[in-house]
Structure 1
Amino acid sequence: MNNPVIQSLRKRRSQYSLGRQVTQSHAEIEALIKEAIRLSPSSFNSQSSRAVILFGAQSERFWELVGDALRPLVPADAFAATEQKLGSFAAGIGTVLFFEDQDVVKGLQEKFALYADNFPVWSEQSSGIAQMATWTALSEAGIGASLQHYNPVVDEAAHREWNLPPSWKLRAQMPFGSNEAPFADKTYIDDAERFRVVA
């Protein structure tokens, strides 16, 4: 299939071997991430997605905070593997922290009471779309990334470290950098298990 969107989606893969050999400046990457999130759709055009873009030592600091939060929770004899994994994320050039602003969600619940139960779900969908858009945009720029979920164990520390609004709820983390290893082959389940076409 020669559709450019499909081609972009095929390129987007999880990269766990990250480096710092990217050709773009921090400003260029920042602009790319901001635009990807800005252009992502949201229910009622709520624009509830928020992001913190960390570069260099600030990104490393985030993964240190994750390690500090996990150390009491992970058995001591297994922590070395956890530490190695976190180190692979810190080895990249940066990390995007994705948040959803709960004040926006609550405001919509109050304004449109009929749909109140749906707004938290729609907020999660908006966040997922913003994450996918960002990941795909980075991939198109030749930058590797993966999507991680160390919330809620690191939430409090991240809020404190970067003085973030209490209404921002951490949903995902995306370490990114140069692709330092080839991608493994990806397999897909059979279409018959996944799709129904009615004509």
Structure 2
Amino acid sequence: MSKFNALQKNRRSIYSIGKNVTLSQDQLTALIKDAVREAPSSFNSQSSRAVILFGAEHERLWNIVLDTLRSMIPAEAFAATETKVNNCFKAGFGTVLYFEDQEVVTGLQQQFAAYADNFPIWSEQASGIAQYAVWLALAEAGVGATLQHYNPIIDETVAKTWGIPASWKLRAQMPFGSIEAAAGEKTYMDDEQRFKVFG
């Protein structure tokens, strides 16, 4: 097994995270920036954007999620949701918010009309690659993370709270922190269902 494959296996959804990370905010910021910066994108569009939240700002995000969900979930069912958000996401050290800049996408659509329908798809692919790159980098550093999708219900509040440009479209949230409990065993479907090899 290659070092990269070993890293892939080590990257898991870690729901039990805490604030006991060994890296500083500056080190984590540099790690995240480097991973996003080096992630490939179609036409080298570099459409991915990231907002990194630490401390009170990280907690503010998850309070926004809770306040939003409280208005949508029946009161008798909200306790379980609140526990999950507090223990699995808010308990962490920080959060990365992933965006795709739609101004870049529309600019490419205008510049390369023959591919116009594909640029939104390629933008989503670029975002996924950037997210995975950061996740791998965090895993290599011994930091646990998960990928969450509370967009679009929090988009407007997030944009107002942190002054996000109107062209940035929120795609995912990645809470991260110290690994307080390991992930469960991962299962795999049969290769015959996923792969075809010829030649």
Give the shorter-chain TM-score range: over 0.9
2:33 counterpart of 1:56: no
Question: Which runs of structure 2 are paired with 1:80-91 in the superposition (5 Å)?
Answer: 80-88=79-87, 89-91=89-91
Question: Which runs of structure 2 are paired with 1:106-125 in the superposition (5 Å)?
Answer: 106-125=106-125
CA separation in 1, counterparts of 2:67 and 2:80?
A: 14
Alignment check: 8 A CA contact 2:145 2:175 kept = yes
For each residue in 1:149-169, what CA deviation from the matched residue of structure 2 results, as whole angstroms up to 9, or x when unmatched? 000000000000001100000
CA separation in 2, counterparts of 1:182 and 1:17?
A: 8
Alignment check: 8 A CA contact 2:149 2:171 kept = yes
Amino acid across the alignment from 2:171: R
Amino acid across the alignment from 1:174: M
Residue in 1 that maps onto 2:39 = 40
CA separation in 2, counterparts of 1:120 and 1:56?
A: 33
Percent identity among equivalent residues? 62
Residue in 2 that maps onto 1:68 = 67
Residue 110 (structure 1) shift:
0.3
2:152 counterpart of 1:137: no
Alignment check: 8 A CA contact 2:15 2:183 kept = no
| TM-score w.r.t. length of structure 1 | 0.98
Residue 182 (structure 1) shift:
1.6
CA separation in 2, counterparts of 1:156 and 1:182?
A: 34
2:126 counterpart of 1:126: yes
Question: Which runs of structure 2 are paired with 1:1-199 in the superposition (5 Å)?
Answer: 1=1, 3-88=2-87, 89-199=89-199
CA separation in 1, counterparts of 2:85 and 2:188?
A: 28
Residue 73 (structure 1) shift:
1.1
Unaligned runs of 5+ in 1: none
Residue 85 (structure 1) shift:
1.1
| TM-score w.r.t. length of structure 2 | 0.98
